[in-house]
Chains A and B, each alone.
Chain A
Amino acid sequence: MGLLSLAIWVPIAFGTALLAFGRDENARGVRWVALVGAIVSFLVTVPLYTGFQNGTAAMQFVEKASWIARFNVNYHLGVDGLSLWLVLLTSFITVVVVISAWEVITERVNQYMGAFLILSGFMIGVFAALDGILFYVFFEATLIPMYLIIGIWGGPNKIYAAFKFFIYTLLGSLLMLVALIYLYNKSGGSFDILSWHKLPLGSTAQTFLFFAFFAAFAVKVPMWPVHTWLPDVHVEAPTGGSAVLAAIMLKLGAYGFLRFSMPIAPDASHEWAWLMIALSLIAVIYVGLVALVQEDMKKLVAYSSVAHMGFVTLGFFIFNELGVSGGIVQMIAHGFVSGAMFLGIGVLYDRVHSRQIADYGGVVNTMPKFAAFALLFAMANCGLPGTAGFVGEWMVILGAVKSNFWIGLGAATALIFGAAYTLWMYKRVYLGPVGNDHVKELTDINAREFLMLSLLAIAVLWMGIYPKPFTDVMDVSVTELLRHVATSKLP
């Protein structure tokens, strides 16, 4: 069994075992098994980075076996510079999420932990799949655990949110399925994604494929105007669910653009780049303004996620090296930062059971340690140099200016809004005199929460101060992708 298979199946095996044998009576054991499972699956992914050959755009750690012979579907895995860090991000966030749920989840612990571990395996599968059907299976399968996570452990309006999440994302993916089958027939009976990259396609076919993929990935990212499910879902989802959703699931969509839309339909991608850029800029600017007026912390961070993901798609569709690499770096950075933001909100919510900004004020007086972490993450969220948030945004803006000054300017304004809503929220929640009795009774974070936030803080700082490991890995892959996308595939 190869490393990638292990990365996928170890968490799924642990998760399944928890579902089958775990009970609430032995919740303690369940938590430990879940933590061991998450750590083991993280450790399994580490050699992917240490053994990764920089300087080649070829797929690495490739595994291939026949799976459904009738349709020539293969169990075909591999990672390149575009997907490597996303795999590591997924296994890392899973460890953090397991820690975050430790004492918070007391009912049906085994199902909660099991769902997250299985979800983690599925998401790694999405990033590692090189076969269209394998990709689709993992892509769709993530809906099942996430639906249950939102619906079982979510807030008061959880059922509405769970349905909205499921139906929205399912519609997109089903259209993608039609596109996948179309490509299968076009390519003479192959589901190999890499071979699709070389397939010559007419402009009508490319446009059709581009929009079928757009339906799947834009909803997942989510891009304006199909982003409306995200705030609803974030507000209702439990802390861990929000963290995984923002940190990883949104990346499934952005990754899809890189792996499918751009290389398979390059001409259509160029033709419709104006649309993608326009939608991204609307996300960055308009949704940033929407975030400014939110009363609910989770909603604010959710809208800020939409704005930050706008940077990612913007970077991709300006078609230069800085933009695309910046987009990918932004994906990883947003994974750490948004994960941290949601977990931070979770820490407050566990104590006060409110996410309204108005219910807080002066938290720094009662929770100094926590406020320090929150400050770091807030700064990362506004893109302060030295934090993870800075690198990607800066690269994207630079790339955008290179291609068109006005686009660059538009993107840059987002930094102002980002700073405005994040800092204003920070001020209202943490600074000033103690707001009310709830805040007065707050206790600072315990060792578990300290550990969880430190892990993320280290990642955020490391990526901000020394982003080389991230960019080195993807350099060649990005160049290769751009070279490929620049070549017309019209027959």
Chain B
Amino acid sequence: MIDKLSWVAIYPEIVLLVMACVIALVDLSTTSARRTRTYILTLLTLAVVAVLTGMAANDGKTIYGFGGMVVSDPMGNWLKCFATVALMVTLVYGRPYAADRDMLRGGELFTISMFALLGMFVMISGSNFLLIYLGLELLTLSSYALVALRRDNAVASEAAMKYFVLGAMASGFLLYGLSMLYGATGSLDVNEVFKIIASGKVNHQVLVFGLVFIVAGLAFKVGAAPFHMWVPDVYQGAPTAVTLLIGAAPELAAFAIIIRLLVEGLLPLAIDWQQMLALLAVASLLVGNLAAIAQTNLKRMLAYSTIAQMGFMLLGLVAGVVNGNTYNAQFAYSASMFYIVTYVLTTLASFGIILLLAREGFESEEITDLAGLNQRSPLYAGVMAIAMFSLAGLPPLVGFYAKLAVLQALIASGQAIYIGLAVFAVIMSLIGAFYYLRVVKVMYFDAPVTASTVSAPRDVRAVLSVNGLLILVLGIVPGGLMTLCAKAIVATLAN
């Protein structure tokens, strides 16, 4: 149902915007170094937003608002819900780290990250190219600021600079591609563009030309090779709390815009963009996995691992349409969605451990800093091991089912080339297993440098335990989340 002004479609965004402003004001009167008041208010707001989006997602209804500018559908709402929860977890993990490094002064960490979330929301629910772009810019501008939050730190400033320059270029690419589409179709509305292209009256060459720029821009944003250069530097250079902030929740939003732009808007061009995504996926798997082996810095290794994981996720999108037949699409795209959701869950756990260890006065960025963690704290070593084995795709952890779903989507296509891609991905993930195993090796087999036990605030301890447990429990009963993703994608594709 299209309404002129469907406020109900954007309730969560409104709450988020209002509360971000309120919290910025409240923070002015806060003197506590740890920003307890701001922190609690932020978490409360996010909890409310998570409940709102979760309820909307559970409704399963699709509502278009503001003349079709925004859409509130199950896929978008679930992604928003997960992104909000991911941000809450990030803030819980990151606050002690940030407080130790005097990053909470002024409370920008909280307010800016809320604006970043708002940006993600707009990206996710935008049904208009311009709005999606605006959301993206709101997110990335907030991210630049967050990376530069430690003004006096040269490494962080450099990372922010790199991030800004390359990010701006990517935005430019995307905008250029979108403008070309607009020129060819005369519309910015996602559904309208779909209809116009499907009618076949538009010059194919112009569309493909625009598509190349759009895919390149998107590849920059998700960090797929060969547009991945910023990822390792920014992951390593940014304060770890911010690394997690830009590495977890925004991936969900990036997935959403890929679906909105490529699937909802440009599905008739699937043959073209599937080829491009396949190339990106192969390059990402190759570059990510091979480069990760050589890393000694843990954050940098995880950055390359992200590139590889994104490659795997893209493979799910590659297999959707076969010979113009879209039957496979819902399975393939829901496999990708499952992949990205579980990836975020796992990333939260692994960075949670890094943040926890980093609090002990040093940065804890090298893989060797984890040495003997098992002797110091079996619980945290266990959580990290679960995260690593899950990223490596070993059952009975959730990462295995993510890989299984993507491989299944590839093989179900029945095309020899896709089966070849599946075998390639499998071999690459074997190489990946090597560096994830090394982290486990360091934690369990090496002797600890210090014998001190690891202590954590109660909230961090509880959330980390739940986080680790979820990776395991979802690995034992993955059915629910899989069905959820499948339903969400079906509802989105139905429009």
Contacts and interface: CB of A to CB of B under 8 A. Distances in A.
Interface of A: 19, 66-71, 108, 111, 133, 136-137, 140-141, 143-144, 147-148, 151-152, 158-159, 162-163, 166-167, 170-171, 174-175, 177-178, 181-182, 184-185
Nearest to B430: A171
A175 B426 contact: yes
B436 to A, nearest CB: 10
Given A137-B400, A178-B411, A163 B478 contact: no
B445 A140 contact: no
A148 B441 CA distance: 8
A105 to B, nearest CB: 15
B219 interface: no
Nearest to A151: B445
Given A68-B478, A148-B444, A175-B423, A185 B411 contact: yes
26 contacts: A66-B479, A68-B479, A68-B482, A69-B479, A70-B479, A70-B486, A108-B374, A137-B396, A137-B400, A140-B394, A140-B400, A148-B444, A152-B444, A152-B445, A159-B441, A162-B445, A166-B437, A170-B433, A171-B427, A174-B429, A178-B426, A181-B404, A181-B411, A181-B422, A185-B408, A185-B414
B434 interface: yes
B378 interface: yes
B407 A184 contact: no
Instruction: Give me the 3 closest cross-chain CB pairs, A-B, nearest first.
Output: A137-B395, A70-B482, A68-B479
B389 interface: yes
A177 B404 CA distance: 8
Given A69-B483, A140-B395, A151 B441 contact: yes
Interface string B415-426: 000010011001
A67 B394 contact: no
B479 A67 contact: yes
Nearest to A212: B423
Interface string B391-403: 0001110001100
Nearest to B334: A70
Contacts of B422: 178, 181
Contacts of B404: 71, 133, 177, 181
A174 B479 contact: no
B412 A174 contact: no
Contacts of B486: 70
Given A144-B389, A178-B422, A181-B408, A167 B445 contact: no
A141 B430 contact: no
Interface string B82-102: 000000000000000000000
A213 to B, nearest CB: 15
Contacts, number: 92
Given A66-B479, A152-B374, A174-B426, 5 more contacts: A70-B482, A137-B400, A148-B444, A162-B441, A185-B414
Given A148-B444, A162-B441, A163-B434, A136 B408 contact: no
Contacts of B405: 71
Given A163-B437, A167-B433, A185-B412, A141 B396 contact: yes
A167 to B, nearest CB: 6
Interface of B: 374, 378, 382, 389, 394-396, 400-401, 404-405, 407-408, 411-412, 414, 419, 422-423, 426-427, 429-430, 433-434, 437, 440-441, 444-445, 477-479, 482-483, 486
A283 B235 CA distance: 50
Contacts of B412: 181, 185
Contacts of A137: 395-396, 400
B479 A111 contact: no
A182 B411 CA distance: 6
A70 B479 CA distance: 6
A185 B445 CA distance: 41
A144 B479 contact: no
A141 B395 contact: yes
A59 B482 CA distance: 30
Contacts of B433: 166-167, 170
B482 A143 contact: no
Contacts of A147: 437, 440
Contacts of B419: 178, 182
Contacts of B401: 68
Contacts of A108: 374
A141 B392 CA distance: 12
A182 B414 CA distance: 9
Contacts of A111: 374, 378
Nearest to A137: B395
B390 to A, nearest CB: 11
Nearest to A208: B419
A133 B475 CA distance: 12
Given A111-B378, A171-B430, A184-B408, A178 B445 contact: no
Contacts of B389: 144
Nearest to B403: A177
A68 B400 CA distance: 13
Given A68-B479, A182-B411, A163 B395 contact: no
A185 B396 CA distance: 22
Contacts of B411: 178, 181-182, 185
Nearest to A143: B394
Contacts of A178: 407, 411, 419, 422-423, 426
B414, B426, B427: most-surrounded residue (chain A CB, <10 A): B426
Contacts of A182: 411, 419
Nearest to B426: A174
B126 to A, nearest CB: 29
A68 B476 CA distance: 10
Contacts of A181: 404, 407-408, 411-412, 422
Contacts of B434: 163, 167
A185 B479 CA distance: 19
A136 B395 contact: yes
A230 to B, nearest CB: 19
B192 to A, nearest CB: 33
Contacts of B394: 140-141, 143-144
A159 B445 contact: yes
A339 to B, nearest CB: 25
B482 to A, nearest CB: 4
A148 B404 CA distance: 24
B388 to A, nearest CB: 10
Nearest to A67: B479
Contacts of A162: 441, 445
A374 B427 CA distance: 44
B236 to A, nearest CB: 25
Contacts of B395: 136-137, 140-141
A451 B486 CA distance: 55
A67 B427 CA distance: 28
Nearest to A140: B395
Contacts of A170: 430, 433
A177 B427 CA distance: 12
B418 to A, nearest CB: 11
A305 to B, nearest CB: 25
A159 B445 CA distance: 8
A60 B414 CA distance: 35
Given A68-B479, A70-B486, A177 B426 contact: yes
A6 B437 CA distance: 31
A178 B407 CA distance: 8
Contacts of B483: 69-70
Contacts of A177: 404, 407, 426
Contacts of A141: 394-396
Nearest to B482: A70
A133 B411 CA distance: 15
A229 to B, nearest CB: 14
Nearest to A184: B408
A163 B427 CA distance: 16
A71 to B, nearest CB: 7
B403 to A, nearest CB: 8
B408 A71 contact: yes
Contact of A174 (B374, B427, B482): B427
Nearest to B481: A70
